[in-house]
Amino acid sequence: MDVFEAMETCRAIRYLRPDPVPDEMVEKLIWAATRAPSPGNSQGWEFVVVRDRALLARLAGTLGERMRAGTAALAEGLEPSQARILKGAVHLTESLAEVPLLVVVCARNIYPPQAPQEIFVWSCAYPAAQNLVLAARALGLGSTFATWQTLAEAEFREILGIPDDVTICATIPVGYPDRPFGPVARKPVAEVMHLDGW
Ligand SMILES: Cc1cc2nc3c(=O)[nH]c(=O)nc-3n(C[C@H](O)[C@H](O)[C@H](O)COP(=O)(O)O)c2cc1C
């Protein structure tokens, strides 16, 4: 698939079919993630690929209650597009136990080597995460860039055995889509591009 078409149609897919994703595709996703740039080519990323149903159920269990409590307050007075996102996000959380795989994108604080700075943890992880999301789209897989682990970070660490010196940067559920891919809604270029200065 043409990379521009992948970008244009790579909207968050929060409704996933439970059908398994073949191993070769999983490897291809991590390959794509690890083709991303990183500061000084430090490549401080690591990926926990969770496919075990029991582990997914435990992760889902830690999120469910907190998500419901948090979203009840958020839902008040939302405009329709935001309400749709929230509804999808709640659905994704509630169906986490059934998704074929969850990729937990992690990174270490290792750059620059003499005096590592936290900003480089995130600037390493996010290009990799976006490469993974785009590669998933190109393979016909749906995914969503999610950060809900912040609701239950200690439990995620404990359940997946993630060491304390590793930052969990994003959690990306992946699977065959149960809703169509489609164009993303974004601001027009003219609204955000400044030529030769602000
Ligand atoms: C850093 C980041 C965090 C996000 N966290 C979540 C999340 O926790 N749950 C979720 O359902 N979507 C999450 N998203 C997805 C966004 O809501 C989504 O990309 C945005 O609404 C635009 O929608 P689209 O990608 O379908 O066009 C996140 C996206 C980014 C980039």
Cα–Cα separations (whole angstroms), residue 114 to 41, 43, 110, 120: 15, 16, 9, 13
The answer for residues whose C-beta is within 8 angstroms of residue 128's C-beta and 6 or more apart is 33, 34, 36, 38, 45, 105
What pLDDT is stored for residue 65 in this prediction? Answer: 78
Peptide bond into 112 cis (omega under 30): yes
Domain ranges in the chain are: 3-51+99-192
Distance CA 140, CA 60 (A): 25
Span from the CA of 113 to the centroid of ligand 1 (angstroms): 32
Distance CA 87, CA 93 (A): 10
What pLDDT is stored for residue 33 in this prediction? Answer: 98
Distance CA 35, CA 85 (A): 30
Domain boundaries 3-51+99-192, corresponding CATH code: 3.40.109.10
Q: What are the pocket residues of ligand 1 if the criterion is a CB atom closer than 6 Å to any ligand atom?
A: 11-12, 14, 85, 89, 92, 144-148, 184-185
Residues with pLDDT less than 50, the chain: none
What pLDDT is stored for residue 3 in this prediction? Answer: 95
